Amino acid sequence: MHEAKTLTREQLRAEIDRIDAARKAIEEQAAPIRAQLEPYKQKIAALDEEELNLLDPHGDLLGRCESCNALIFADDKGWRYEEGPMFCAEHSPTYGDLLAEIKTFPADEWDEEEYGPLSAAIAGREALVADHGADTICAVEL
Ligand SMILES: [Zn+2]
């Protein structure tokens, strides 16, 4: 509804008041449900706090494995894509996977300034496959 420009200021106020009243009525209808949820929210908050208290002294939690949801800490082995998912050692890509990924990487999206020529990156991964084998999981210290 884009009739706002055809409304007088007074009509606009009335329409906004109508919407506010409808919103308030719905919030009032939802209030008992919110009240029912409150104890559960408190239980979840207590678990969140317990988890934080456990993790705080260690301070090096990086995240969770995209595949199995395992916790991954800074000194664990695994694989982490830049600005992407992280994997535990068991679910990290193989050297062959990494080579296939870079070979299919769109050349026009490759950041040559940061990573050097794409051909050199491909050659580097080919060398890793030659050294470690295509089926070997590439899990590095994170
Ligand atoms: Zn995993």
Q: Do residues 39 and 16 share a domain? A: yes
Q: Do residues 48 and 102 share a domain? A: no
Q: Do residues 66 and 136 share a domain? A: yes
The pLDDT value recorded for residue 54 is 87
What's the CA-to-centroid distance between 78 and ligand 1, angstroms? 9
Question: Which structure tokens are listed for 99?
Answer: 């080579």
Instruction: Give the Cα-Cα-Cα angle 129, 134, 138 (nearest 5 degrees).
Output: 80
Q: Do residues 49 and 68 share a domain? A: no
Q: Do residues 71 and 134 share a domain? A: yes
Q: Do residues 72 and 46 share a domain? A: no
What's the CA-to-centroid distance between 136 and ligand 1, angstroms? 16
Residues 18-36 pLDDT 10s: 999 999 999 999 999 999 9
Per-residue pLDDT of the chain (142 residues; tens, 9 = 90+): 555 578 999 999 999 999 999 999 999 999 999 999 999 999 999 999 998 888 878 768 888 999 999 999 988 999 998 888 999 999 999 999 999 999 999 989 999 999 999 999 999 999 999 999 999 999 888 8
Q: Do residues 97 and 115 share a domain? A: yes
Residues 106 and 17: their CA atoms lie apart, in Å, by: 53
Q: Do residues 72 and 48 share a domain? A: no
What's the CA-to-centroid distance between 66 and ligand 1, angstroms? 7
Nearest residue to 128 (alpha-carbon basis) of 90, 91, 102: 102
Domain count, the chain: 2
Q: Do residues 65 and 51 share a domain? A: no
What's the CA-to-centroid distance between 124 and ligand 1, angstroms? 26
Domain termination site, one of 12, 27, 55: 55
Residues 82 and 79: their CA atoms lie apart, in Å, by: 10
Residues 66 and 60: their CA atoms lie apart, in Å, by: 18
What's the CA-to-centroid distance between 85 and ligand 1, angstroms? 11
What's the CA-to-centroid distance between 86 and ligand 1, angstroms? 9
What's the CA-to-centroid distance between 90 and ligand 1, angstroms? 6
What's the CA-to-centroid distance between 4 and ligand 1, angstroms? 53
24: β partners:
none
Q: Do residues 66 and 134 share a domain? A: yes
Domain termination site, one of 55, 78, 98: 55
Residues 22 and 13: their CA atoms lie apart, in Å, by: 14
Instruction: Give the Cα-Cα-Cα angle 106, 109, 110 (nearest 5 degrees).
Output: 90
Residue 6 DSSP label: G
Domain that holds residue 31: 4-55
Place of tokens 């055809």: 6
What's the CA-to-centroid distance between 59 and ligand 1, angstroms? 20
Q: Is 0.85 surpassed by the pTM of this model?
A: no
The pLDDT value recorded for residue 1 is 52
What's the CA-to-centroid distance between 64 and ligand 1, angstroms? 8
The pLDDT value recorded for residue 17 is 97
The pLDDT value recorded for residue 142 is 86
Question: Which structure tokens are listed for 86?
Answer: 């992280």
Q: Do residues 78 and 133 share a domain? A: yes
Residues 51 and 68: their CA atoms lie apart, in Å, by: 19
What's the CA-to-centroid distance between 71 and ligand 1, angstroms? 9
Q: Do residues 78 and 37 share a domain? A: no
